[in-house]
């Protein structure tokens, strides 16, 4: 990032673009890092600067303790990203990242900060819906790993590599605790548009669960489903990025 007043470990930018008209901040799913989004820049509009957010506890921030509650993480994100909100921006988050992006937009509103041009929520049920799934973050290792295998988001070679799992389990448990202990507090709807994405085979992130995000905005809502399960953002990456780019183009046109 070259146009903000200081560097920060919270952000990576694969291709800094001081002339960009909009920044896209991307938040990861549980256990994920900025690597999720490393190949997205080429598929996005040239006027968009891709800014994946690196949360503590992963990659270059491995030695930092990961957050286990949404509220302090969002406050820390707001402080770290504040200097980079000096031009129009959008938030994209998948699963856990959708909750982070949503709550960050609300935090900024409560504190008189700028609002995203558009909020993209992916693979995550609307926050006002009750979460009926049991907590898994405190399960014994064998049961926790079995649940990870069921979710289909961790490569089999990683799940079957004891040394890698020993490094990854504390982060995964922290992220699962963060999202499984999240408690929604009602507030007025956001004024920015919300675009929801889901996988047709994802029971928790499709259909009515995503449609309910409509209640969280007065600025327009859209919903699009893609082939795949909870991790469709990998298996259906091309059509997802096409849809994302189309919405970003629309946002740039309305900002002109």
Q: Give yes or no: 95 in active site.
A: yes
Q: Which residues pair with 24 in a beta bridge?
A: 50, 90
Within a 13 Å sphere around the CA of 174, how many CA atoms are in the beta-carbon half?
Answer: 18
227 alpha-carbon distance from chain centroid: 19
Asked whether the predicted pLDDT for residue 5 surpasses 50, the reply is no
Mean of per-residue pLDDT scores for the chain: 92
Question: Mean pLDDT throughout 22-40?
Answer: 95
Q: How far apart are CA 62 and CA 5, in angstroms?
A: 25
Query: Among the listed ranges 44-58, 103-117, 126-140, which one has the minimum average pLDDT value?
Result: 126-140
Q: What per-residue confidence (pLDDT) applies to 103?
A: 98
Sign of CA dihedral 151, 25, 244, 40: negative
Instruction: Name all domains of the chain by residue range, CATH numbers in brackets.
Output: 22-129+186-255 (3.40.50.1820)
Q: Identify whether the C-beta of residue 73 lies closer than 8 Å to the C-beta of residue 79.
A: no
Q: What is the largest CA-CA distance in the chain?
A: 54
Taking phi over 0 as left and psi of -120 to 50 as alpha, with beta for the rest, 46 belongs to alpha
Q: How far apart are CA 136 and CA 64, in angstroms?
A: 23
Taking phi over 0 as left and psi of -120 to 50 as alpha, with beta for the rest, 13 belongs to beta
Q: What per-residue confidence (pLDDT) applies to 4?
A: 47
Q: Comparing C-alpha atoms, which of 14, 40, 11, 9 is closest to residue 248?
A: 40
Within a 13 Å sphere around the CA of 45, how many CA atoms are in the beta-carbon half?
Answer: 19
Asked whether the predicted pLDDT for residue 42 surpasses 80, the reply is yes
pLDDT in tens, 212-227: 999 999 999 999 999 9
Please give the full DSSP string across 23-84, using - where no structure is assigned.
EEEEEPPTT--GGGGTT-GGGS-TTEEEEEB--TTSGGGTTSPPP-SHHHHHHHHHHHHGGG
Q: How far apart are CA 72 and CA 147, in angstroms?
A: 27
Asked whether the predicted pLDDT for residue 80 surpasses 70, the reply is yes
Asked whether the predicted pLDDT for residue 92 surpasses 90, the reply is yes
pLDDT in tens, 144-198: 888 888 877 777 777 778 888 888 899 999 999 999 999 999 999 999 999 999 9
Query: Sorting pLDDT into bands at 50, 70 and 90, what band is 255?
Result: low
Asked whether the predicted pLDDT for residue 48 surpasses 90, the reply is yes
Please give the full DSSP string across 79-147, using - where no structure is assigned.
HHHGGG-SS-EEEEEETHHHHHHHHHHHHHHHTT----S-EEEES---TTS---SPP-TTS-HHHHHHH
Q: What per-residue confidence (pLDDT) applies to 256?
A: 56
Q: Which two tokens stand for residue 241?
A: 């990025």
Asked whether the predicted pLDDT for residue 2 surpasses 50, the reply is no
pLDDT in tens, 9-20: 999 988 899 899
Q: How far apart are CA 186 and CA 215, in angstroms?
A: 11
Taking the model in full, what pTM does it have?
A: 0.94
Which of 95, 122, 206, 251 is labelled catalytic?
95
Query: Among the listed ranges 79-93, 141-155, 205-219, which one has the minimum average pLDDT value?
Result: 141-155
Asked whether the predicted pLDDT for residue 3 surpasses 80, the reply is no
Q: Comparing C-alpha atoms, which of 124, 48, 123, 120 is closest to residue 87?
A: 48
Q: Which residues pair with 123 in a beta bridge?
A: none
Q: What per-residue confidence (pLDDT) applies to 79?
A: 97
Asked whether the predicted pLDDT for residue 243 surpasses 60, the reply is yes
Asked whether the predicted pLDDT for residue 112 surpasses 90, the reply is yes
Q: What per-residue confidence (pLDDT) applies to 165?
A: 84
């Amino acid at each position: 990032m070259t146009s903000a007043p200081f560097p920060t470990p919270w952000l990576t930018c694969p291709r800094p673009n001081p002339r960009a008209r909009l920044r896209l901040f991307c938040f990861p799913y549980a256990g994920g890092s900025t690597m999720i989004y490393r190949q997205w820049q080429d598929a996005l509009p040239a006027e968009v600067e891709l800014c994946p957010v690196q949360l503590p506890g992963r990659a270059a921030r491995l030695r930092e303790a990961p957050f286990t509650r949404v509220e302090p993480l969002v406050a820390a994100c707001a402080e770290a990203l504040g200097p980079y909100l000096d031009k129009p921006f959008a938030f994209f988050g998948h699963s856990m990242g959708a909750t982070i992006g949503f709550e960050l937009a609300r935090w900024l509103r409560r504190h008189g900060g700028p609002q995203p041009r558009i909020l993209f929520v992916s693979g995550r049920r609307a926050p006002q819906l009750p979460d009926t799934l049991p907590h898994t973050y405190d399960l014994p290792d064998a049961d926790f790993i079995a649940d990870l295998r069921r979710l289909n988001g961790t490569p089999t070679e990683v799940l079957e590599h004891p040394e890698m799992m020993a490094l990854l389990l504390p982060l995964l448990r922290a992220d699962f605790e963060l999202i499984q202990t999240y408690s929604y507090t009602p507030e007025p709807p956001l004024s920015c548009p919300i675009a929801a994405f889901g996988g047709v085979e994802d029971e928790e992130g499709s259909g009515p669960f995503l449609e309910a995000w409509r209640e969280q905005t007065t600025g327009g809502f859209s919903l699009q489903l893609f082939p795949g399960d909870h991790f469709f953002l990998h298996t259906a990456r091309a059509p997802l990025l096409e849809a994302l780019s189309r919405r970003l183009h629309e946002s740039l046109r309305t900002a002109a």
